[in-house]
Structure 1
């Protein structure tokens, strides 16, 4: 179980202070409200303040008769549910786009009570149909048929509803220098101005503003921004105006990182260590250590200090998913370049805190001139790699200490290899490539605890039992070795691609899954559920052009079933497991998928405009008791590319709030699907931004 982060102070609505005023004034305000109140809200759309979780709080709009799940509540687990037979469903299709006047965004902080008292019912300019769904499949076909007749880029609809949204949510544009690349938890000026600790890269770690301090504004879109180049062409070239930074063009001109050619940035596939191209380097590693078996034995890899992530981009051709990371602005916009290219990456640093991954998860870790001092501070950083590396996993080190004989390099090599030996690592290969003039050393983590027991010394020490290896959300690194599990996760997963389909061998019938069933059965039914939903609805029934979808985030991923269902599509999915929910991220990695821990009451560490699709399965209802829905949707707006999509699945009353907010952002609401108290809401972000302040 990942450690939770509870940093949110209780909020009081403004009505608290009004009621505490003079009785006469309160009565007068109530009188004014009664006189000017809008029409009553329909019962089925009323916003509820209930925050209780229900295990049967999801639905499958594509359920078939042979897919039936026990929906008994299990409040100690996830509030997601699986397939259930449909009784009565309501389908709403169409698109809406509204107009808005730019002004102060503080209206977005109204309390739920004030919203319920003062709102018109959220509504779509759409067609609503209610049917008895004797045949769920025919209802699914109805969705697809209706969507084929819907325009996904409608003209502006000047509706009274739109005016109400504009008056309620008065968005403004973030207007400070470099705000178009704003990452709230990495650009917290207040913290940076008062803390000068840089020795261990504390200034590059997450320091989030409080909910009250978070700027209530929308990040601007760069001038001349265009819909991104489609994959796979995007691996080699992107629009310059989408990421208008040229620092790397000149700084790394001799290393083939990136070049400017007209209105595009071109990536030759080179780099500091890849002068003959990343493909040549990948082949060289396979040659010197055939057991690595790219895309079969080795599927998920962590790339430390990734440059512009060409290594990860070319590994994708070998069926390898590389999670690349580097500090924000260590080199200008390198992670932003990677994401614009369609390559998995995020901004992070190896400083004082653990990486946001579970233990024993990555098949390999790679460092090519990553400039991380593995040998200092008692081996703190190398021990963190050991934590996330799977038993039997590989550390690929390609840096000057491996193949150059300068005095400093020789000393670093000596100290690092001595530390690796003390950690039980075995050096299984070390070769110099005469063509590219670089060398690679490959180390293997032990597969069991025997290597630790045979050590001559006891440094690094074995971690105490209360040092939980999977605790990774705002947890400090430690200079100790975690024991390799004796019973769980000791065997290497099945070879790819079989591993994405089968439950990990360590899942026991005695373990209870997140839906209340025996864990292997939970896993199986979840996999079937998301296969149904993705293939019967998402791929064909939402009006999405999937050729434009490359970077996908599942904001509450469970077992990773949504990502697994998309495995045949040319997309990659970042599976996010909320830090306060059951820890299923080890299962995600054992399936050959990638993900991280996160708390959605805080902004994510990605750049603006980096994802094409956000999948929010009961995300809003899982956090709305702790933090504001407006801030969450504002963060999704920051993350999504213009023309990107969000799919919400949640309680009807929860999505009524969401629908109102996204309409105020001028997103198109293209489909809503109702079943009992559940709803699916598919929306598309557009290019709208508030006018800049004069």
Structure 2
């Protein structure tokens, strides 16, 4: 009985407790309901929902998700404001799952799975991903995400300050730009300024950005409107030759209107205005290109279906067709035992050339299919090859398909788009250029770009043939080279091939110029700046050798030391980031080394073994290219014509590049690059030209399966995503830090339907 009584007493005590707890719970629920139904909270909840919808836009878009701490850990990136905060408070632990080393990536499926296990199913999808959970969203596969096992903690040590994600501040007053020097460019800039002024809205009409800023000042930060998706339509280029369309070289109307073509004016740039926005079609049966280095010897015929060149050069061992491929035996008119035999014979006959040490960057004139440039890679030499878009049918396109650097260009009436005194050597194998005519104007253009003390290697028939015409050309060439103070340092003949070559050297000082008996060709005027190259006419004059304090005045260090050591002449120049130029060089090199190693190589989803031809669309010091130097890739470093002229620095470090205005098309065939890199480029372009035309140009240059990595302001990245999605590209990775963002996208095979 006692035991039963005690049991009943315990039950009564438990019931009382439950009743009391129930009363408290009901009271709290009533208070909570009153709070949740308050007007201010309803506004806050609606504003939060609108903000999330504006951020994610629609389900097909890869969301941009913010996490400043994780972003800094993975990319070495931090803003000045964040650095101050880090000094005051330690970093908090991150619960981000890592599927790749050094860069936190989580598949969308895994993120939703983890969040849904902690929250009710009825909760809105947009609330399942918090804005502070991680900094990167990617469409990586489930299998890749399943490898994630450990959480990554941010490093406790403070990293160096880096403005990698911050817009580059360029002080153009400290450096000349091509836009400053080119008369045509000045006229174009004036037109753009007038157009921009005419297009500006009246002062009384506030822009959306101004309204947002005003609302922010009033404390209405949660009332941002939902971003409306931009509707973008695309059309296919439908005309003869559209598959290989180069807008600035295929402007039929402009070419027909030329008063003369005797100086190859019809092979020079004549850009249409406005720039076209149609998409070039793909060749039938197009396939992903053969990987390097196998591509040096064979490519898919369907990618470059040009039988004319095969027929034209069938007896010269250039290129042959074998089933569904084009085969490149490595020969040519001058390479009867292969290009590598020819290259090594030059080294044996003239050891001072020192391939890959003293001589690192070469200009190859009239390159053909660029076998010289393709095989001299084996000797650590980088070659910029060029040839005109002419009757020899897509030589440059074949070179680029093989993975060899090349551009479509011609020596006509305008300067080559390179700075002065930058090439270690210039090579011309059986090129049919009449160097001696018109006062030697064409050879003087080579003299402008050749580094003082550099070599001109000429293996054309006048060097070793003895017929009357070739003998006369040789005499004229010797006369001309002496008049411009070039010294004939070697002449040799290869018995095994019957090919000979002559090597001339440019002077290292102005002494020879000052002691000439005859002032012909004349010295250039002081206001004729040798680095001016963007739409600047050639001049038949000699530019003086620069002082050691200027670029070109002193030979760079041997490769590879020159890649990472700042050129000595930078010590006397102001930098482009408001520091000394030498400090900028080091900072730029370190910044991109961190970004490439910690993020680009392992975290963006790029299959780097498929990447060979790379372009940095806004190169600055060439730090991005230098960071990729250990990979079997080459990088075309583009310095925009309105940017500080840092291109000589890029050449001095053993890399190469070109000037360009991105409001115009680039001088290359379609589908010739595997990866384009644009660091804060599109935001600047938008001030001068239609961003759609630039996106069209990116699409034209990239191979299907190729990649674009763009860094810019968040609003620019968002606009670019609209374009990429309209092109059916795969937006693989995006992340944001403050006002800055990055997007990595992969080009698809999609083309608009034909109207035929």
Q: Same fold (TM over 0.5)?
A: yes
Query: Does the Cα contact within 8 Å between 2:136 and 2:733 map onto a contact in 1?
Result: no
Look up the match of 2:390: 329
What is the alpha-carbon distance in structure 1 between the residues aligned to residue 692 and residue 600 of structure 2? 25
Offset of residue 189 of structure 1: 1.1
Q: Aligned-pair distance for 1:60? A: 11
Using the alignment, how far apart are the partners of 1:353 and 1:309 within structure 2? 23
Alignment map for 1:198-237 (pairs within 5 Å): 198-211=261-274, 214-237=275-298
Once the two structures are superposed, what CA deviation does each residue of 1:470-517 show, in whole Å capped at 9, x if it has no partner?
000000000111111113232111111111011001111x52211111
**Per-residue Cα deviation, 1:357-388 (whole angstroms, up to 9, x for no partner):** 00000000000111111000110000000000
1-side partners of 2:145 and 2:309: how far apart? 46
CA contact (8 A) 1:46 1:653 kept: no
2:232 equivalent among 147, 169, 172:
169
Say yes or no: does 1:564 pair with 2:565. Answer: no
Secondary structure of the 2:446 match is helix
1:667 aligns with 2:729: yes
Map residues 505-516 of structure 1 onto 2, 5 A cutoff: 505-508=568-571, 510-516=572-578
Give the equivalent residue in structure 1 for 2:533.
472
The whole-number CA distance in structure 1 between the counterparts of 2:580 and 2:351 is 38
* From 480, 484, 487, the counterpart of 1:426: 487
- Taking a change above 3 Å as real, the CA distance of residues 476 and 66 of structure 1, as seen in their structure-2 partners, is closer
Deviation at 1:311, TM superposition (A): 0.2
Higher relative contact order (CA 8 A, sep 6+): 1
Does 1:591 pair with 2:653? yes
Question: Partners of 1:208 and 1:125 in 2: how far apart?
Answer: 46
Alpha carbons of structure 1 residues 400 and 41: separation in structure 2 relative to 1, 3 Å: farther
Change (3 A) 1:259 1:142: closer
Cα contact 1:553–1:614 (8 A) shared by 2: yes
CA-to-aligned-CA distance 1:248-301 (integer Å, 9 cap, x gap)? 211111110000000000000001111111011001110111011101110000
Alpha-carbon separation, structure 1, partners of 2:699 and 2:258? 30
Look up the match of 1:23: none
Q: 1:490 aligns with which of 531, 553, 571?
A: 553
Aligned to 1:682: 744
Distance 1:631 1:655, change over 3 A: same
Who is 1:613 aligned against?
A: 675
Structure 1 residue corresponding to 2:364, chosen from 296, 300, 303: 303
Aligned in 2, Cα 1:471/1:433: closer, same or farther, shift over 3 Å?
same
Q: Does the 8 Å CA contact 1:94/1:125 hold for their aligned counterparts?
A: no
Q: 1:31 aligns to what?
A: none
Distance 1:297 1:126 in 2: 60
List per-residue Cα deviations over 1:38-97 (Å, max 9, x = no partner).
x978797699xxxxxxxxxx999456899878799xxxxxxxxxxxx999999887699x
Give the 3-state SS of the residue equivalent to 1:311 in structure 2: helix
Q: Which blocks of at least 5 consecutive residues in structure 1 are unaligned?
A: 1-38, 48-57, 73-84, 97-123, 134-138, 152-163
Matched, 1:187 2:250: yes
For residues 70 and 473 of structure 2, the distance between their equivalents in structure 1, rounded to whole angstroms, comes to 56
Measure, in 2, the Cα distance between the counterparts of 1:43 and 1:271.
61
Is 1:380 matched with 2:441? yes
Cα deviation, residue 197, structure 1 = 1.6
**CA deviation vs aligned residue, 1:613-638 (integer Å, no higher than 9, x gap):** 00010110111011011111110000
| 2:641 equivalent among 579, 587, 600 | 579
Give the distance between the partners of 1:501 and 1:585, measured in 2 at CA: 15
Cα shift at 1:148: 3.2
Aligned residues, how many? 586
Range that drifts further, 384-393 or 194-203 = 194-203
Superposition TM-score, scaled by structure 1 size: 0.80
Q: Residue in 2 aligned with 1:403? A: 464
Structure with the larger helix share: 2
Deviations 1:406-464 (A, max 9, x none): 11111111111111111110011001111111110000000111121122211111111
Determine the C-alpha separation between the residues in 2 that align with 1:59 and 1:449.
56
Q: Which runs of 4+ in 1 moved over 3 A?
A: 39-47, 58-72, 85-96, 124-133, 139-148
Structure 1 residue 191 displacement after superposition: 0.4
Corresponding residue SS for 2:677: strand
Does the CA contact (< 8 Å) of 1:186 and 1:204 recur in 2? yes
The secondary structure found in structure 2 opposite 1:473 is coil
**Residue 539 (str. 1) matches residue 601 (str. 2):** yes
CA distance in 2, matches of 1:522, 1:349: 35
Aligned counterpart, 1:312: 373
Answer yes or no: is 1:342 the counterpart of 2:403: yes
Distance (whole Å) between structure 2 residues aligned to residue 500 and residue 183 of structure 1:
33
| 1:554/1:576 contact within 8 Å kept | yes
Distance 2:479 2:309 in 1: 35
- Who is 1:131 aligned against? 132
| Alignment partner of 1:644 is 2:640 | no
Instruction: Tell me what 1:35 maps to.
Output: none
- Checking the alignment, whether the CA contact within 8 Å between 1:325 and 1:345 is kept in structure 2 is yes
Q: Which has the larger radius of gyration?
A: 2
For residues 716 and 527 of structure 2, the distance between their equivalents in structure 1, rounded to whole angstroms, comes to: 38
CA distance in 1, matches of 2:260, 2:325: 38
Q: Tell me which residue corresponds to 2:753.
A: 691
Distance in 2 (CA, whole Å) between partners of 1:318 and 1:131 is: 50
Per-residue deviation, 1:329 = 2.5
- Unmatched 5+ stretches in structure 2: 1-48, 58-67, 83-88, 97-103, 110-124, 148-227
SS at match of 1:658: helix
- Aligned in 2, Cα 1:539/1:65: closer, same or farther, shift over 3 Å? closer
**What is the rounded CA distance, in whole Å, between the counterparts of 1:521 and 1:383 in structure 2?**
35
Which residue matches 2:337? 276
Structure 1 position 150, deviation (Å): 9.7
Cα separation, 2, equivalents of 1:65 and 1:222: 39
> In structure 1, what is the equivalent of residue 145 of structure 2?
149
What's the counterpart of residue 196 of structure 2? none
Contact 1:59 1:678 in 2 (8 A): no
Distance 2:412 2:553 in 1: 29
CA shift for structure 1 position 225: 0.4
**TM-score of the superposed pair, with normalisation by structure 2:** 0.73
